[in-house]
């Protein structure tokens, strides 16, 4: 690697600050049970919101990932982490995708919607893994200084991730190519 001028990127360790768990918060039954595989598109989705700090401001990406082909099927961004962002994410995916009966949508514990138990990051590992790759490969190395720059880089990375980035779990195909192969 040294001879070729290559350097590895090491992901930052995630610091969990958490939030207090109130007895009034209700978690629904975890139907996914860490079953991160699906036989066909639109059977299992995972969703979450990730923050990205730019100076003193925060920028939020809400995304839904289809577990069959690992494709990001909706990804609105906002300056606010609120219920409106969650509703916009749902609206975008439902206008784009044909939803079938029995679809499982999984989200971990969050301020807007609570769908899993407290303190179980592994319950939403697939979505957290995507966010980690996004930040490590496309945001942190470039020191982005503006909201517009962050939004542009996120959109470009998601396009690359879904259309061009080969994945071992998908027979070294990109999510879109894998989906095309499935639906034929």
Q: Scan for tokens 């995916």, then name that residue.
A: 93
What's residue 160's pLDDT?
96
pLDDT (tens digit per residue) in 3-15:
888 887 776 666 5
pLDDT (tens digit per residue) in 59-117:
999 999 999 999 999 999 999 998 899 899 989 998 887 777 788 787 776 555 555 55
Question: Does residue 127 surpass a pLDDT of 80?
Answer: yes
Please give the model's pTM, rounded to 2 decimal places: 0.78
pLDDT (tens digit per residue) in 30-40:
666 666 778 88
Domains of the chain: 44-154 (3.30.420.10)
Q: Scan for tokens 């610091």, then name that residue.
A: 15
DSSP class of residue 136?
I
Question: Are the CB atoms for 104 and 32 separated by under 8 Å?
Answer: yes
Q: Is 10 exposed, middle or buried (0-12, 13-18, 19+ CB in 10 A)?
A: exposed
Q: Scan for tokens 């939020």, then name that residue.
A: 60
DSSP class of residue 173?
B
- How many Å apart are CA 167 and CA 161, to the nearest integer? 9
């Amino acid at each position: 690697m040294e001879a070729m001028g290559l350097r590895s990127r090491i992901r930052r360790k995630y610091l969990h600050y958490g939030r207090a768990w109130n007895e009034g918060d209700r978690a629904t039954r975890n139907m996914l049970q860490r079953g991160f595989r699906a036989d066909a598109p639109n059977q299992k989705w995972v969703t979450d919101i990730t923050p990205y700090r730019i100076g003193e401001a925060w920028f939020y990406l809400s995304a839904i990932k289809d577990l069959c082909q690992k494709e990001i099927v909706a990804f609105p961004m906002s300056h606010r982490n609120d219920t409106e962002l969650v509703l916009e994410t749902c609206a975008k995916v439902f206008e784009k995708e044909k939803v079938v009966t029995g679809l499982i949508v999984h989200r971990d514990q969050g301020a807007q919607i609570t769908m899993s138990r407290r303190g179980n990051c592994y319950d939403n590992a697939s979505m957290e893994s995507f966010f980690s790759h996004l930040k490590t490969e496309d945001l942190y190395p470039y020191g982005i200084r503006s909201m517009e720059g962050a939004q542009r880089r996120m959109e470009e990375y998601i396009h690359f991730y879904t259309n061009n980035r080969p994945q071992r779990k998908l027979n070294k195909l990109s999510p879109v190519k894998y989906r095309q192969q499935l639906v034929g």
